Structure 1
Amino acid sequence: MLQNEIKECFIELGQFLEQFSTENYTKKDTIKNNSLFYNQMVDLIDLSQSHNGWFTKENVCFSLASWAKALTKENIEKWLSSYDFKNVDEKNVGLILAGNIPLVGFHDFLSVLITGHKALIKTSSNDQHLIQFLSKYLISLDQRFQDKITFVEGKLENFDAVIATGSNNTARYFEYYFQNKPSIIRKNRNSVAILTGEETQDDLIHLGEDIFRYFGLGCRNVSKIFIPKEYNFDTFFNAMFSYQKIIQYEKYANNYDYNKAVYLMSNYKLLDNGFLTLKEDENYASPISSVFYEYYDSFNTVIEKLQNEEDKIQCIVSKNQILKSISFGQTQKPNLWDYADNIDTIAFLLSI
């Protein structure tokens, strides 16, 4: 397939997904193959939470909306404009996908196909239905995708390169197992926010989106905040109150109760608003329903710390306080050119 043909199919896919950008679906007669796939997609979204209890209809639609916005001709052209695709030698690229949030591995899937390679995909049991369904839609647009997309149930074999995502423990296994193949191995990372105390109420409400979207399960979710000494937590908690309904979700509430109990039994000092706990902690990976915080004396000390530990950080959120930081409320809305772990996936795929 020519790259322009692949691009057009993904643009069509983006238009298909746009119908499901909100929980009140909007069917459009102009979408290709809608008669075959629209009702199936509705059923799949409705059943997603039965496949994975964290995949609520709201969060699945949010993910689909994000991809609908990303898969436009303008965005794809901007993303790919700086690369040279002239001498691509088609390879089999193994993809071992995570399953913490809906379609978390879709960018790798897209990148492999858009560079002209074949994708051998091993999905997570937590997110195996959505990407397989979108693959079927692509194949309905162009049957040649049938030869380019393979889902693997057992051992991953006959691959020339691999992109694997997992925990720090599984990453060690991946590094050993794939040591003789070109690879990108992704480990645990977390996102942080740097606050100065001068943020507006709207800024902090938007920060709540970075904390609570997908129940905090993504590597782009803010799990820790850096704050100045004498920070006023009242302003922070007043903003977080906008997200109080999250405690009505049973799986989240169970985690909140459990983690709070563990903290209290360990005699940790906590700040608590009834659905979110704040704990002073130097670590980055806070459990569901909790955010760590750390005081700083000077802004430069925070910057230096994050630079020294950049291998643990996915995103930094601030109000334009640091170069390449992300604005409040934007962590779960990455562009196509915002690469995980700051590793250029397209450049890697063009080099194999």
Structure 2
Amino acid sequence: MTALEKKDAFVKLGDFLRQFVAYEPVKDDSVLKNDEFFEPFKSLIALSQSHNGWYTPEQVRFSIAAWADSLTSKNLTDWLSRYDIPEREPKTVGLVLAGNIPLVGFHDFVSVVLSGHKALVKLSSNDQHLLPFLAKYLMSIAPGLKNFIGFTEGKLEGFDAVIATGSNNTARYFEYYFKDVPSIIRKNRNSVAVLTGNETTDELEALGEDIFRYFGLGCRNVSKLFVPKGYDFAKFFEAMFAQKDVIQYEKYANNYDYNKAVFLMSNFKLLDNGFLTIKEDTNYASPISSIFYEFYDDLETVKTRLENESDQIQCIVSAGIVGNSIRFGQTQKPELWDYADNIDTLSFLSKL
């Protein structure tokens, strides 16, 4: 199967996904295999929350929409043209996927297949349905992909390289277990926003998307704010009000009640708006329904710290005041070439 044929299959997958972006899916008769796959995928989206309580239909549709936007011929061509991917005997690349947000490991899957290798996927117990369905669709419209896609429920074996994602604790196990093969081992990371106090209401409302999308469970979710000394949080809280409905989800509400109680019993000083607590803290990783903040006197000091601690940071959000930062509201819309942990996955795969 040629590289062009593989790319075209993913473009067709993007066409398929585009039907499910709206609350009520809109069937496009020009999409391949719709008679076989449209209704089952519609049902899968509706049932996702029964498989994982955090996977509400809204959150799943957002992930689908992001991938529909990415999987276009132009995007895939722009991405792949940056690399010299040689024609050679494919290697088997084991993928140990996380399950914190819908389709979180899909970028690794796409990268392996389009680099000419075989993807051997070990799914997270929290996300066992979406990727296998999309893989089934791909193999249906492009049968040649059956030689490049596999799943395993047991021990991961028979691989030449591995990409594994987990916590800092599981990463130590991964590093030992996979020490004899080329690997990318991903650990815990968090995202931060650097504010000046001059942000517009629109920018702060967009920041709410960076904080609350996927209920804050992703490494690209902002979990920490750096704000100037004397910062007035009133405008921030006013902008966050657009996200108030998040408290209607039982799992989020339970976390909000629990974490707030823990903070209060520990006599921590909190700011609270009824669905989000804000706590002054030097750590990056805040619990669900909470966000940490630190005051700063000098912006250059913040920049230096973030640079020195870059191994803990996934994204930095700002209004352009920090180099390589992301605009407000864009953390959960990465481009194909925006790599997790800033590790160029396709370059790694091209050199196997």
Same fold (TM over 0.5): yes
Task: Verify: 1:23 aligned to 2:38, yes or no.
Answer: no
For residues 290 and 325 of structure 1, the distance between their equivalents in structure 2, rounded to whole angstroms, comes to 22
Work out whether 1:331 is the aligned partner of 2:331. yes
Q: Does 1:322 align with 2:322?
A: yes
Q: Distance in 1 between matches of 2:22 and 2:285?
A: 30
Q: Name the SS for the 2:139 alignment partner.
A: helix
CA RMSD of aligned residues (A): 0.6
Report deviation, 1:87.
4.1
Aligned partners of 1:204 and 1:249: how far apart in 2? 23
Instruction: Describe the SS at the equivalent of 2:47.
Output: helix
Opposite residue 137 of structure 2, the aligned amino acid is Y
Cα deviation 1:285-311 (Å, max 9, x = unaligned): 000000000011110010011011100
Superposition deviation, residue 24 in structure 1: 1.7
Whole-angstrom CA distance in 1 between matches of 2:307 and 2:189: 14
For 1:86 and 1:217, locate their aligned partners in 2 and report how far apart those are by CA, in whole Å.
Answer: 37
Q: Distance in 1 between matches of 2:339 and 2:318?
A: 19
Q: What residue number does 1:2 align with?
A: 2
Cα deviation code 1:95-133 (max 9, x no counterpart): 000000000000000000001100100000101100000
- Where do 4+ consecutive residues of structure 1 move more than 3 Å? none
1:144 aligns with 2:165: no
Amino acid of the residue matched to residue 86 of structure 2?
K
Q: Write the letter of the residue equivalent to 2:298.
A: S
Residue pairs, 1:161-240, within 5 angstroms: 161-240=161-240
Question: How much has 1:204 moved relative to structure 2?
Answer: 0.2
CA contact (8 A) 1:93 1:159 kept: yes
Code of the residue aligned with 2:260 in structure 1: it is: K
**Structure 1 residues 10-60: Cα deviation after superposition (integer angstroms, max 9, x where no partner):** 000000000001212111100000000000001100110000000000000
Q: Report what 2:243 is aligned to.
A: 243
Confirm or deny that 1:305 pairs with 2:305.
Answer: yes
Cα distance in 2 between the residues matched to 1:184 and 1:23: 36
Query: Separation in 1 of the partners of 2:338 and 2:306?
Result: 19
Look up the match of 1:35. Answer: 35
Superposition deviation, residue 88 in structure 1: 3.8
User: SS in structure 2 opposite 1:82?
Assistant: coil
Number of residues paired by the alignment?
352
The Cα shift of 1:89 comes to 3.5
Segment of structure 1 superposing worse, 301-310 or 141-150: 141-150
Quote the residue 1:259 is aligned against: 259
How much does 1:167 deviate? 0.3
Which stretch has the larger CA shift, 144-153 or 30-39? 144-153
**Cα deviation per residue 1:108-164 (whole Å; 9 max; x = unaligned)?**
000000011001000001011000000000010111211211111000001000000
Report the Cα distance in structure 2 between the residues aligned to 1:70 and 1:89, rounded to whole angstroms.
28
Please report how far the alpha carbon of residue 86 of structure 1 lies from its aligned counterpart in structure 2 after TM superposition: 2.6
Unaligned runs of 5+ in 1: none
Give 2:160's aligned residue. 160
Residues of 1 paired with 2:250 and 2:92: CA distance? 42
- 1:82 is displaced (CA, Å) by 1.4
In the superposition, the TM-score normalised over structure 2's length comes to 0.99
CA distance in 1, matches of 2:12, 2:198: 43
2:121 is the alignment partner of 1:111: no
Could you tell me whether the CA contact under 8 Å between 1:193 and 1:226 is conserved in 2?
yes
Q: Secondary structure at the match of 2:20?
A: coil
Q: Distance in 2 between matches of 1:71 and 1:137?
A: 14
String of CA shifts for 1:182-215, please: whole Å, max 9, x gaps. Answer: 0000000000000000000000000000000000
Normalised to the residue count of structure 1, the TM-score between the two structures is 0.99
- CA deviation map 1:217-259 (0-9, x unaligned): 0000000000000101000000001111110111100000000
Q: Distance in 1 between matches of 2:42 and 2:143?
A: 23
C-alpha distance in structure 2 between counterparts of 1:340 and 1:82, whole Å: 17
- Offset of residue 328 of structure 1: 0.1
Q: For the residues of structure 1 that align with 2:196 and 2:320, how far apart are their CA atoms?
A: 11
Displacement of 1:85 after TM fit?
1.5
CA contact (8 A) 2:86 2:350 kept: no
What is the one-letter code of the residue matched to 1:19?
A: Q
Q: Could you tell me how far apart the structure 2 residues matched to 1:173 and 1:351 are?
A: 25
Q: Distance in 2 between matches of 1:63 and 1:168?
A: 25
* Identity fraction in percent: 65
